[in-house]
Structure 1
Amino acid sequence: MNAPLAPALALFSHLPPAERFHVHARAFSAPLEAVAARVPPGGAVADVGCGHGLLTALLALGDSRRMVHGVDPDPRKVEWARKGPGLLPHVKVEEGGVDSLAQRLPGHFDAVAVCDVLYLLPVERWADFLRAARRLLRPGGRLLLKEAEGDGSWKHRKCLAQEWVMVTLLGRTKAGGDLVLQSRETVLGVLRDTGFLPRETVALGAGYSTPHILYVADSAP
């Protein structure tokens, strides 16, 4: 079951205008509904890099049997997420990252969702990040990794320009790398090298000005 976008956005209706605008912009610029639709039903799901918590909201409203755990390193965004989807009884939101969560809850999750996080990190840190994500999963658990594809298109160049504004000019997003988009072959290679079995690669850029791509992979037994 997939939650409609409107009820998820309603959870943020009390936020200040600037934060509410950010959530709405995220809703209509990224295919988060398509990501949520591919998360297995029920179980425990981690939303790593949850930001304000829009995907967390979609996951929680889409299936009341799910326990959704959002984590983000930005304390400001975590506070807004706590005041939105964090008020739902089957949602927990906390400040932190994939490593801290994996230390406390190894093998706890049936699925892990990571949306638009890797490109903010130095490429040399991708493998460690994905290994930590795998530690979160039970054997055979599902990873849903949504990134922008480095395909050299105008959407690729527009995405980098947009993120430069958000990260460098406005400081709305934290980054620790050079904002480099990678090809799907590169991402699939890193997934395999870190113990994942890719199941599906879904291009989700149609209708968007960003070359969205979703990698669905299982944790190797």
Structure 2
Amino acid sequence: MSTLTERTLQQFSALPPAERFHVRARAFSAPLEAVSSRVPPAATVADVGCGHGLLSAMMALEDGSRTVHGVDPDPRKVKWATEAAGKLPNVHFEVGTVESLGAQRPGGFDAAVVCDVLYLLPRAQWPEFLRQVRSLLKPGGRFLLKEAEGDGSWKHYKCLAQEWVMVTLLGRTKAGGGLVLEPRATAEALLSDAGFRMREVVELDRGYTTPHILYVTEAVEPAAQSRK
């Protein structure tokens, strides 16, 4: 375990056992440090679908000059996030969605992260969701999308089975009728259509049983997008 992950998990040490277990499982099953390390220094960051606030805390601790604003539609998770990572001076959480955050602060963020959220939404909602994320960002702002890649591998199907358990049997995660994994080419096309230019695609599945993939993009000016 890295020092950054240890420091991050310490923020959640006072939560009830079930919540601590959930956060620790998340820390060891997802490459969150790879996401955090690609957030620009001193950025104002929107963490959309922040859950318990684990990634928010990691981004804030990695660079104290960052300001992280996490939103999630689940009041239960936002409560735990606020009681734990919300004690950090550069982190704020609230119950909300990408739409509510965009209404408050359109174009107000240097960066946005969406980590393992998109696949929980109905596929038909993905284009509009990504356009809403685009509306949060300043011109040239960075967007990091971490998802599981729909590559047809055993990791793909294991990921779907695991999430079915979390959503349907245990109720630990809320889904809006999604649980869809799309291939890389589809994700790249959706991001381009929503107004993002690809900077980097990072395969992060090594050492994990989930086909993690990270899309690092930047918000494109409307005029630049029309010239593509």
- Take 1:3 and 1:17, find their aligned partners in 2: how far apart are those partners? 22
Indicate the SS of the match to 2:57: helix
* Partner of residue 25, structure 2: 25
* Partner of residue 68, structure 2: 68
**Residue identity matched to 2:97:** G
The yes-or-no answer on 1:36 pairing with 2:36 is yes
* Partner of residue 4, structure 2: 4
Unaligned runs of 5+ in 2: 222-228
Deviations 1:57-97 (CA, angstroms, capped at 9, x unpaired): 10000111111001101000000000111111111000011
Indicate the SS of the match to 1:4: helix
Unaligned runs of 5+ in 1: none
- Take 2:63 and 2:178, find their aligned partners in 1: how far apart are those partners? 37
Where do 4+ consecutive residues of structure 1 move more than 3 Å? none
Structure 1 residue 180 displacement after superposition: 1.2
* Partner of residue 214, structure 2: 214
- Take 1:34 and 1:200, find their aligned partners in 2: how far apart are those partners? 12
- Take 1:193 and 1:151, find their aligned partners in 2: how far apart are those partners? 21
* Partner of residue 191, structure 1: 191
Deviations 1:94-140 (CA, angstroms, capped at 9, x unpaired): 00110100011001100000000000001110011111100000000
Q: CA RMSD in A?
A: 1.0
Task: Please say which of residues 135-144 and 83-92 is displaced more in the overlay.
Answer: 83-92
Q: For the structure 1 residues 3 and 106, does the alpha-carbon distance in structure 2 shift closer, same or farther, using more than 3 Å as the test? A: farther
The yes-or-no answer on 1:117 pairing with 2:117 is yes
The yes-or-no answer on 1:59 pairing with 2:59 is yes
Structure 1 residue 177 displacement after superposition: 2.1
* Partner of residue 182, structure 1: 182
* Partner of residue 149, structure 1: 149
- Take 2:38 and 2:19, find their aligned partners in 1: how far apart are those partners? 27
1:131-150 equivalent positions in 2, closer than 5 A: 131-150=131-150
Aligned residues: 220
Equivalent pair of 1:199/1:217 in contact (CA under 8 Å): yes
TM-score by length of 1: 0.98
**Residue identity matched to 1:25:** A
**Residue identity matched to 1:82:** T
**Residue identity matched to 1:29:** S
Structure 1 residue 3 displacement after superposition: 6.8
